[in-house]
Amino acid sequence: MTAEDRFWDEIAKCLRCGACRELVDNACLVFPMIFSLAEEERYAGGKMDTRELAAVADLCNLCGICPCRDIRSAILDFKTEHAERHGLRFNVRMIESVERIGKLGGAFPGMTNALLQQHTTRGIVQWFLGIHRERQFPRFPQQSFDRWWRDHGAPSTAAERKVAYFAGCTARYLFPEVAQATVEVLQKNGVEVLVPEQRCCGMPTLLEGDRRKTEALVRENIEKWTAIVDQGYDILCSCPTCAYMLKVVVKAGAEEHKLRRLLDETDGDFVEWPAQGSMLAYSLPQAGGILQVARKYVEHMPDRNGYFAGIDPDKRLKISRSTYDAGEYLLKLHRVGDLDTAFESCEMAAVYYPPCHVREQCMESTYGPLLDLIPGFRMDVINGNYCCGNAGIMGFKKKFHQNSIKIAGRLMSTIKKRDPQLITTECLSCRLQFQQLTLYRIKHPIEIIREAYDRQGGLG
């Protein structure tokens, strides 16, 4: 079965189910278009063609708001098959690498910023890269996080807790203050921090269907970071998209593959499986963090090893189980009494937006309980099916810009009604969108924690 055939099958299932008609109508463009085209087909005759199918797939930014993983997987496979057949446009290949953009723009940040502020040169760059003319360019900082780490990185402390920090391209090149705050908060709490040389997590290229580049990035990351985990380090991400990629996306299919192998090696009707980080934990009973997975249950699982089937499933699972979101890690420290909570008062009314890829990690709220520890800090959480619409580079594309604004509309209206002094969110892609559409100050939650330490002189 081709990816296109599978996509048709999943659309047929969606039309029979219809659960997403109301659920995602205000935050997703994919399902409304599917239902609209189906109604048109029903009453006007004809049939959706491949061109319309590609238009539907182009609207998906893998935000995860829809409850069905099968349709997302089908869309991703279709995007990949379509890209392999027809190729990716030059401008897409140019902007899909945030890492390359960061390195080029950050090499001479003063000159880059001046050129991008100048109307003529900005227009040429936007035309060349296919960026919408109304999109604001982020300013490149004078110093990247990589350079800051080379100048300020602390040597090994032989601490009890050790993390290898996967900073992410946007923090490394556009918002180094977030990565710096992450390092400083961890070190403040006695955690040894290692920042290895690193590559993009692969999500931007995955979203474009660029399998060759995505697999190369993921393979390199899996090999490098597995060796680091074997040295006793946990992996920590301050970017929810990087964490989602390492915790959830790269392991897709690996659990099923490993469970089949385990069952082939035993005559029993059950096999034990760790519950931590497993999607099976949401559907199977557990005791002491261990799942008892029945042979019949495994036999009914799809027999596929996922998008990254060519990469060792054991290593993929090891990376997934060893990766933590920064807020998740700090909350874990707090619960065992190892988080320094000597915060100074911060009189501030903020709204917190939990990004899509935080929700997709199926974590409980992490930064809410942490920021509640800061005296005077008041935080209003925006719950519900909201999406900022930026989706990494997608919001910058000429053809997606208006869709990006449309998706963001309900969220921006909700924020403006609450009129906070500050917006806080972990996602730096969301931060770019908030900078595009609002005048509020925006900070990562870990920057707020760092500043609460700084006010009481705890970092220096």
442 in helix, strand or coil? Answer: strand
How high is the pLDDT of residue 458? 47
313 occurs within a structural domain: no
276 occurs within a structural domain: yes
Looking at the structure, tell me whether residues 445 and 347 fall in a common domain: yes
Looking at the structure, tell me whether residues 103 and 184 fall in a common domain: no
The whole-model pTM stands at 0.88
Looking at the structure, tell me whether residues 276 and 295 fall in a common domain: yes
Looking at the structure, tell me whether residues 438 and 359 fall in a common domain: yes
Last residue of a domain, one of 291, 326, 361: 326
171 occurs within a structural domain: yes
Count how many domains the chain has: 5
Looking at the structure, tell me whether residues 156 and 218 fall in a common domain: yes
Looking at the structure, tell me whether residues 279 and 235 fall in a common domain: no
Element (H, E) at 254: helix 254-264
How far, in Å, CA of 305 to CA of 287, rounded?
27
**10-residue stretch averages of pLDDT, the chain, 460 residues long:** 85 80 71 79 70 85 77 88 87 83 87 87 86 88 93 73 95 96 95 94 91 94 97 96 92 78 73 70 68 68 69 92 95 95 92 88 82 94 87 85 88 94 95 94 96 67
Structural domain of 421: 339-455
425 in helix, strand or coil? Answer: coil
41 occurs within a structural domain: yes
How high is the pLDDT of residue 303? 54
Looking at the structure, tell me whether residues 238 and 149 fall in a common domain: yes
Looking at the structure, tell me whether residues 272 and 373 fall in a common domain: no
What amino acid is encoded at 138 in this protein? P
Identify which of 353, 329, 325, 350 has the alpha carbon closest to the alpha carbon of residue 339: 329
The residue length of the chain stands at: 460
425 occurs within a structural domain: yes
315 occurs within a structural domain: no
Lookup: tokens for 387:
């999406």
- Domain CATH number, residue 414: 3.40.50
Q: What are phi and psi of 269, to 5 degrees?
A: -90, -5
308 occurs within a structural domain: no
332 occurs within a structural domain: no
* Contact between residue 177 and residue 447 where contact means Cβ atoms under 8 Å apart: yes
The set of residues, in sequence order, having a beta carbon less than 8 Å from that of 330 and lying 6+ positions away, is 185, 189, 339, 366, 370, 446, 449
How far, in Å, CA of 288 to CA of 314, rounded?
22
How high is the pLDDT of residue 185? 96
Identify which of 203, 226, 186 has the alpha carbon closest to the alpha carbon of residue 453: 186
431 in helix, strand or coil? Answer: helix
